[in-house]
């Protein structure tokens, strides 16, 4: 006989996945500061296959607004340049001998607003997923109650604990988003 605590503990890893996904998604947003996350997962066509850039080159940040990409092999350069041209990070890659440099431009006010809007969308997407998992768990708890596996007082306790967990994770979503918004303003 499963308890409501088991149901709640089953959704916690799902909530953690939501937070990890949000952090990964937001790390890809260009904030005016260079970070390998802006380009490391860019898919590069090479030898008829696609590879993430981080598998084909070393990525470093020599200056706050510059990304330096050193391909492991010269034959990757063309594919990397083509893939970087499609990223939409707002900067063109420059080939400098065997390395590729990306100098990030300062963010315009309009672009900052677009980025803030994108962050809000990602936060809302995360909250929707959290609500989905809450509904799933609550449905399971109510079914347990109807089947006599969960006592009535446990059902209400479960609802409160579930809501506390949801509030805790929604707060994390809010904090992560606010931190990213501050990076855009800097």
| Residue-by-residue DSSP string for the chain | ---HHHHHHHHHHHHHHHHHHHHHHHHTS--SS--GGGTTT-EEEETTEEEEGGGTEEEEEEETTEEEEEESSGGGHHHHHHHHHTS-SS--EEEETTEEEEEPPPPPHHHHHHHHHHHHHHHHHHHHHHHHHHHHHHHHHHHHHHTTSS-HHHHHHHHHHHHHHHHHHHHHHHHHHHHHHHHHH-
Boundary (domain end) residue, out of 79, 103, 127: 103
Instruction: Compute the average pLDDT of residues 132-140.
Output: 94
Are 118 and 51 in the same domain? no
Are 116 and 179 in the same domain? yes
Are 54 and 93 in the same domain? yes
pLDDT exceeds 50 at position 50: yes
Most confident of 97-106, 115-124, 158-167: 158-167
Are 137 and 94 in the same domain? no
Are 116 and 144 in the same domain? yes
Are 113 and 168 in the same domain? yes
* CATH code for the domain in which residue 45 is found: 3.30.1360.40
Are 19 and 84 in the same domain? no
* CATH code for the domain in which residue 169 is found: 1.10.132.20
Look up the domain containing 141 and give its range: 4-27+108-185
Instruction: Note the pLDDT of residue 1.
Output: 41
Are 115 and 166 in the same domain? yes
Instruction: Note the pLDDT of residue 89.
Output: 66
Output the average pLDDT for the chain.
86
Are 53 and 120 in the same domain? no
pTM over 0.75: no
- 14-40 residue pLDDT tens: 999 999 999 888 887 766 677 777 788
Which of these ranges, 11-15, 40-44, 104-108, has the smallest mean pLDDT? 104-108
Are 125 and 164 in the same domain? yes
pLDDT exceeds 80 at position 91: no
Boundary (domain end) residue, out of 103, 124, 140: 103
Instruction: Note the pLDDT of residue 114.
Output: 81
pLDDT exceeds 80 at position 121: yes
Which of these ranges, 3-17, 96-110, 141-155, has the smallest mean pLDDT? 96-110
Total tally of structural domains belonging to the chain? 2
């Amino acid at each position: 006989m499963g308890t409501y605590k088991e149901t709640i503990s089953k959704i916690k890893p799902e909530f953690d996945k939501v937070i990890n996904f949000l952090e990964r998604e937001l790390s890809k947003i260009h904030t005016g500061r260079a970070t390998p996350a802006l380009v490391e997962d860019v898919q590069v066509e090479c030898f008829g296959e696609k590879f993430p850039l981080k598998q084909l080159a070393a990525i470093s940040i020599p200056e706050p607004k510059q990304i330096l990409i050193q391909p492991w092999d010269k034959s990757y350069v063309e594919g990397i340049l083509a893939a970087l041209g499609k990223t939409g990070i707002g900067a063109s890659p420059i080939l400098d001998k065997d390395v590729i440099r990306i100098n990030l431009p300062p963010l315009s006010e309009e672009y900052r607003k677009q980025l803030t809007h994108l962050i809000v969308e990602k936060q809302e997407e995360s909250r929707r997923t959290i609500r989905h998992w809450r509904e799933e768990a609550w449905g399971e708890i109510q079914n347990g109650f109807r089947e006599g596996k969960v006592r009535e007082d446990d059902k209400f306790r479960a609802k409160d604990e579930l809501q506390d967990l949801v509030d805790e994770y929604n707060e994390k979503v809010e904090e992560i988003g606010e931190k990213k918004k501050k990076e855009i303003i800097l």
